[in-house]
Chain A
Amino acid sequence: MEAHSGTLLTIICEAGLEPVLVADLVRLGARGYTICDTRGMGSRGMRDALWEGSSNIRVEVLGDRALIETLVAHVHDRYYANYGMVLFVTEVEVLRPEKFLKRPGEDPS
C-alpha cells in the first residue's frame, strides 16, 4: 500500500448552513466533500434532530494542508461568531492522492 499524507477537515454545524457552507468550500478549492446528518449535545444545548431547526450535519473535506488551512480560516471568520459549529483538523493517509490533493491539470511534481 502506497499511502500519501493528507489533511482531513471535519465541521459539525447547523444543518441549515449546508447550502452556503458547501458553496464556500467548493469556491475556495475543495475537490469534494462528504456530509452526513448527525445529532448530539454541546455548548448550545441538545441538538436532537427532531425537526429542521435542531438538526446538525457533519461535513468532511480531504485536501492538502494549505487548502485545509484556507478553508479553516474562512469558516472561522465567516461563521464562528454566529453559528453553532465545531471544527477540527486531522492528519490522515490517503490512497489515491490525485482525488484529493492535486487539481486537474496541475503539475504532479
Chain B
Amino acid sequence: MGSVDPVVLFFVLGVAAGLLRSDVRLPSALYESLSIVLLIAIGLKGGVELAKTALGEIALPALAVVLMGLGTPLVAYPVLTRLGRFRRPDAASIAAHYGSVSVVTFAVGAAHLTRLGVPFEGYMTVFLVLLEMPALVAGVLLAKGIHRATDWRALAHEILCGKSIFLLAGGLAIGWLLGPEGIRPIDRLYFDLFKGILTLFLLEMGLITAARLQDLKRAGAFLIAFGIAMPLVSAVGGAVTGWWLGLSVGGTTLLATLYASASYIAAPAAMRIAVPEANPALSIGASLGVTFPFNIVLGIPIYHAMAKAVHGLGG
C-alpha cells in the first residue's frame, strides 16, 4: 500500500466512518477553519510560483484554458436533457457543477504528482481560480436564457466574494507580491503542515460523501454513470488542451484533473441563489457522491496516464 497517497486513505476512512455510523465528526467550525487554511495555502503556493513567471506569458494560455473549459457544461447540458431526461434547471445546474472545479481535487492531484516527483507549472493555481466562475455563469444562462430576469449583481457577488475564489485569489496575490522570501515567516503553517491538514479535511469529506450516498439512491443509475463518464470525457479535453498549450506532463495532468473535477462549494451556493428551482440533491449527489470519490481514488492516476499518453503520441 506504499503507493497509495495517505490523503486517499483518510478519505476512505471518512467514508467508512460515515457508512458504519461512527460518531466521528469534525466540528463545523474546524471544517471551516481547515478549508480557509487550505484555500490560502493553495493560493500562496501558486502566487509564489507565479512571481517567477511573466504575467504576459500565461495570459493567452489562461484564455484558452477558460474557453476550452466551457466545453464541459456545453457537452453535459444536452446529454442531461436529451439522454437523461432531466428538467432544464436541473440539467443546467448539474452542468454548472461539472464545468466548475473542485479545489480539493486539485490539491489531491498536486499532492499525487509531488509524491511521485513529477514537476508541474506552479501557475496552474491561476487556472484553478479562473475556471471556477465561467461555468456557473454558463449554467445560469442554460437554465434561464439571457432574457429572463436574473439578478446578475447578486450572482457576481455570490461567486466573486464567496470564500473559495476570494481566498484563493487573495492568497495568490499575497504570494505573488511577497515571493518566496517574503512568505518564509508563514511557510511552516501553510506549506509544511499542508499535507497533514489535507488529510483531516479529506477525512471530513469522506463523512460528507457517505451522507450523500442517500441522495444517490434517489438520483438513479443514469446520474451515477454520468458522474463517472463526464469527468473521463472532460479529462481527455484537458489532456489534449494541456499538451496543445505546451504544458509539462505534470501540468497536463493537473489541467485534466481540473476539467474532470466538479465543484461542490462555489457551485451549490451560486446555483441555490440563481437557479433555485433546480433540485440540489441531484447536482450535489452526483458531484459529491460519485465524481469526487471517483476522482480522488481512481481518476487522478488515470488522468496522469492520459497526460503521459497524449505527450507520448503528440511528441
Q: Is the interface of A mostly helix, strand, loop or mixed?
A: mixed
**A contact residues around B280 at 8 Å (CB):** 53
What are the interface flags for B193-221 relative to A under an 8 Å C-beta threshold, 1 for contact and 0 otherwise? 00000000000100110010011000000
B28:A53 contact, CB within 8 angstroms: no
How many angstroms between the C-alpha atoms of A44 and B211 in the bound complex? Answer: 13
What are the interface flags for A32-70 relative to B under an 8 Å C-beta threshold, 1 for contact and 0 otherwise? 000001000000111011111111000000000000000
- The minimal Cβ–Cβ distance linking B216 to chain A, given in whole angstroms, is 12
B273:A16 contact, CB within 8 angstroms: yes
B269:A50 contact, CB within 8 angstroms: no
A49:B28 contact, CB within 8 angstroms: yes
A50:B277 contact, CB within 8 angstroms: no
Partner of A45 from the list B154, B208, B214, B288 (CB cut-off 8 Å) is B214
How many angstroms between the C-alpha atoms of A79 and B272 in the bound complex? Answer: 11
A10-36, CB < 8 A from B: 14, 16-17, 20
* In the assembled complex, B182 has its CB within 8 A of some CB on chain A: no
Number of A-B contacts (CB under 8 A): 46
A50:B273 contact, CB within 8 angstroms: no
Q: Which interface class (under 10, 10 to 19, 20 to 34, 35 or more) fits A?
A: 20 to 34
**B contact residues around A17 at 8 Å (CB):** 272
B272:A16 contact, CB within 8 angstroms: yes
Query: Which B residues lie at the A interface, using CB under 8 A?
Result: 25, 28, 31, 154, 204, 207-208, 211, 214-215, 264-265, 268-269, 272-273, 276-277, 280-281, 284, 288
Please provide the 6 A-B residue pairs with the shortest distance between their CB atoms, ordered closest to farther: A82-B276, A16-B272, A50-B208, A53-B268, A51-B208, A82-B277
